Amino acid sequence: MSFRFHVAHSTPLGKIRSSSTHQQHHKHILAKRCGSTSSNSVSVKSRAGELDSVIMAGASSVRVAVAQMTSINDLAANFATSSRLVKEAASAGAKLLCLPENFSYVGDKDGDSLKVAETLDGPIMQGYCSLARESRVWLSLGGFQEKGSDDAHLCNTHVLVDDAGNIRSTYRKMHLFDVDIPGGRSYKESSFTEAGKDIVAVDSPVGRLGPTVCYDLRFPELYQQLRFQHEAQVLLVPSAFTKVTGQAHWEILLRARAIETQCYVIAAAQAGKHNDKRESYGDSLIIDPWGTVIGRLPDRLSTGIAVADIDFSLIDSVRAKMPIAKHRKSIDFWKSASL
């Protein structure tokens, strides 16, 4: 198995605002969040100190890493690969590493995942929490097989772990992959997976994160909510896209989500053949708010990481120059609009 490492840097769009203005802007947002409450349908987890510590240090950018790997039906082997990638990310100065959907396990056949599903305080997830703590890196663990409400179901859960090894937030995949792939196999994720119901946003040292999972990518309403209702700055899309759908739509959809929300998008991907029946597209990407790919591995089949910098000033600049938040119409407007 080959391991690759790639570094990329974002280039701001035109003239960006000064560091002092940037600091005041984000302190205002953090103060606003700390006094807010969440509705039943939205989980908002905020700790002002995370992002504020970066701002107080005068940093206008923070490094992140995205992983690409080929998980198999071997928990120990996948953990060993993940451990190596976490250490690479830490050595590169990344504050967050994003691993792909099904990072810990990909079964040979449907239903195998149920056999390894466990609670978040079980040994599998706690092993990854230890990785985060030992390397002092936040981890985006998207698509963990969390035990469901009964033995016949699991939750496809995106877990965010901080650099002290604490689970900071969880998002359970809303949109389940029940699809007949053209020229390929049929998938019925809902046969063994419970759909999530809550939108989640959480502050971190690399900005305000909006976690999603794979097939969610095809539903822009979720990302619109994360940006405009919950002030996300970085959207996370860990995935295991099929080869057919990935070739057709992967990069296009990711860049569209970045452009229409003016957020960074970090999309960690499974890559290559997991077994005789399953193959993933690959192509892990980091995309800036202007829709430019600023981080990607040299090829779609390699195992490794790519890194790039989250530039808070670029987020502010893009949003100020193209003020779509100000111009967008409300849901009530569209309901009342004549057809």
Positions annotated as catalytic residues are: 101, 173, 214
Which phi and psi (to 5°) does residue 287 adopt? -125, 140
Q: Per DSSP, which regions of 79-227 are E strands? A: 96-99, 138-147, 154-161, 167-172, 178-180, 186-188, 193-194, 199-204, 207-211
CA 65, 68, 72: angle at the middle one, nearest 5? Answer: 140
* Token output for 131: 């990785």
**Interstrand relation of 285-287 and 293-296 (parallel, antiparallel or unpaired):** antiparallel
SS (H, E, C) 281-331: ECCCEEECCCCCEEEECCCCCCEEEEEEEEEHHHHHHHHHHCCHHHHCCCH
Provide CB contacts within 8 A for 204, sequence distance 6+: 50, 51, 95, 96, 138, 160, 162, 168
* Token output for 58: 């005068």
Q: How far apart are CA 166 and CA 219, in angstroms?
A: 30
* Token output for 228: 């405009």
CB–CB of 109/185 below 8 Å? Answer: no
CB–CB of 330/30 below 8 Å? Answer: no
Q: How far apart are CA 4 and CA 173, in angstroms?
A: 29
* Token output for 267: 């999309």
